[in-house]
Amino acid sequence: MKPRPLLVLSLEGLTPAALGCYGSSWNRTPAIDAIADTGCVWDRWLATDDQPSKMFLQMVESLDQTNHWKEKWQANGTIDLITDVEDIADKFEKLPFDRMVSLHDREQQWNQSPAEDIVDTQLGQLVAAAIERDAEEDDWSILWLHSDFLTKRWDAPRYMTLIDEGDEDSLAPSDEVELLENADEVTERVEKLPAYFEDLTPPSLQLPAEVHPDLVMSWMRTYGCQIRMLDVLIEILLTSLQAEDPHVLIVGTSGFQLGQHGWVGHRLGPLRSADIRLPLIVSDLGPLHLPQLSGGNTFPKILDQIANHSSPDRSGSLLWSPEQWCQSDEGTSVITRSDRTAHAVTTPDWFYVQDHDQSEHLYLKPDDIDDFNNVARLRPDIVEQFTNAQKTPADH
Model pLDDT for residues 243-263, shown as the tens digit of each residue = 888 999 999 999 999 999 999
Q: Are 118 and 232 in contact (CB under 8 A)?
A: yes
Q: Which of 328, 360, 324 is nearest to 347 (CA)?
A: 328
Could you tell me if residue 201 is inside a domain?
A: no
Could you tell me if residue 379 is inside a domain?
A: yes
Confidence of residue 319 (pLDDT cuts 50, 70, 90): low
Indicate whether 368 and 267 sit together in one domain: no
Indicate whether 75 and 146 sit together in one domain: yes
Q: How many domains does the chain have?
A: 2
Indicate whether 239 and 369 sit together in one domain: no
Indicate whether 239 and 127 sit together in one domain: yes
What is the per-residue pLDDT for 259?
96
Q: Which of 218, 230, 251, 264 is nearest to 160 (CA)?
A: 230
Contacts of residue 99, defined as CB under 8 A and 6 or more positions apart, other chains included, come to: 78, 79, 80, 81
State the average pLDDT over residues 57-61: 92
Q: Which of 325, 357, 379 is the last residue of a domain?
A: 325
Task: Tell me the one-letter amino acid at 357.
Answer: D
Helix ranges (DSSP H) in the chain? 30-37, 52-60, 69-74, 86-90, 122-135, 149-152, 165-171, 183-190, 215-240, 273-276, 299-310, 322-325, 380-389
Could you tell me if residue 307 is inside a domain?
A: yes
Helix ranges (DSSP H) in 136-267? 149-152, 165-171, 183-190, 215-240
Confidence of residue 314 (pLDDT cuts 50, 70, 90): low
Q: What is the mean pLDDT of the chain?
A: 89
Model pLDDT for residues 157-216, shown as the tens digit of each residue = 999 998 865 554 444 554 554 444 555 554 455 478 999 999 999 999 999 999 998 999
Model pLDDT for residues 263-307, shown as the tens digit of each residue = 999 999 999 999 999 999 999 888 889 999 999 999 999 999 898
What is the per-residue pLDDT for 395?
46
Q: Are 250 and 35 in contact (CB under 8 A)?
A: yes
> Rounded to the nearest 5°, which phi and psi values hold at 32?
-65, -40
Could you tell me if residue 291 is inside a domain?
A: yes
For 167-196, give the DSSP string: HHHHHSPPGGGGG---HHHHHHHH----SS
Greater model confidence, 47 or 71: 47
Model pLDDT for residues 220-249, shown as the tens digit of each residue = 999 999 999 999 999 999 999 998 889 999
Indicate whether 349 and 313 sit together in one domain: no
Indicate whether 317 and 349 sit together in one domain: no
Indicate whether 276 and 309 sit together in one domain: yes
Q: Which of 261, 328, 343 is nearest to 294 (CA)?
A: 328
Question: In sequence order, what are the beta bridge partners of 9?
Answer: 145, 250
Q: Are 273 and 369 in contact (CB under 8 A)?
A: yes
Could you tell me if residue 130 is inside a domain?
A: yes
Question: In sequence order, what are the beta bridge partners of 272?
Answer: none
Indicate whether 66 and 100 sit together in one domain: yes
Task: Tell me the one-letter amino acid at 45.
Answer: W
Query: In CATH, what number is assigned to the domain containing residue 300?
Result: 3.40.720.10
Could you tell me if residue 169 is inside a domain?
A: no
Could you tell me if residue 128 is inside a domain?
A: yes
Query: From its phi and psi, is residue 375 left (phi > 0), alpha (psi between -120 and 50) or beta?
Result: alpha
Confidence of residue 67 (pLDDT cuts 50, 70, 90): low
Could you tell me if residue 213 is inside a domain?
A: no
Indicate whether 56 and 123 sit together in one domain: yes
d(CA 165, CA 152): 30
Task: Tell me the one-letter amino acid at 217.
Answer: M
Indicate whether 320 and 362 sit together in one domain: no
d(CA 134, CA 139): 8
Quote the distance between the C-alpha of residue 29 and its chain's center.
13
Domain carrying residue 91: 6-158+218-325
Indicate whether 304 and 354 sit together in one domain: no
Q: Which of 279, 296, 325 is the last residue of a domain?
A: 325
DSSP 3-state assignment of 249?
strand
State the average pLDDT over residues 37-54: 96
What is the per-residue pLDDT for 186?
45
Among 1-10, 48-57, 69-78, 289-298, name the most confident range. Answer: 48-57
Indicate whether 370 and 313 sit together in one domain: no
Q: Which of 296, 325, 354 is the last residue of a domain?
A: 325
Model pLDDT for residues 80-138, shown as the tens digit of each residue = 999 999 999 999 999 999 999 999 887 667 778 999 999 999 999 999 999 999 999 99
Greater model confidence, 395 or 66: 66
Torsion angle of C-alpha atoms 332, 247, 237, 36, degrees rounded to 10: -50
